[in-house]
Amino acid sequence: MRHLMGSVTILALVLLLAGCATRAKYEEQLDKWVGMNEAALVTAWGAPDAVYETAAQKFLTYKKERTAIFPGSPATYETRHAGDTSYMTSYGGTPTQTIFLECRTTFVVDKATGKVEKWSLKGNDCVSD
């Protein structure tokens, strides 16, 4: 039972901290770049991880990748005796979980004006830092 309470406490803490970093907040930050020039974007964000160009537009993609490891919890064991024989039963326990998190943010720049027109997101970790 103590392990369960510890796991619940850790989960609650993770959810509380995750509540501070949301996709909506990240999207608000990205909205501020619409209308800004490409040079200002690259100065603030650094060199993009990928660039693709068409005749009229340039696509600047930034990638954020990380791995989150959530430790498991040990099982609880109960030993019962029946005469000269002992029986051990395990209860609960969870394995360690590894989750790959990523976000790809792409800014679309109009080549004629050099201004950011729009942006797009893809991934499971597109949240504000």
Task: Encode pLDDT of 4-55 as tens digits.
Answer: 445 545 554 455 455 578 999 999 999 999 999 999 999 999 999 999 999 9
pLDDT at 1 over 50: no
pTM, 2 dp? 0.70
Q: How far apart (Å, rounded) are the C-alpha atoms in residues 58 and 51?
A: 7
- Would you call 111 helix, strand, or coil by DSSP? coil
Of 42, 48, 85, the residue nearest 63 (C-alpha): 48
For the stretch 45-98, pLDDT in tens is: 999 999 999 999 999 999 999 999 999 999 999 999 988 899 999 988 899 999
Q: What is the pLDDT of residue 39?
A: 97
What integer pLDDT is reported at residue 85 of this predicted model?
92
pLDDT mean over 106-129: 96
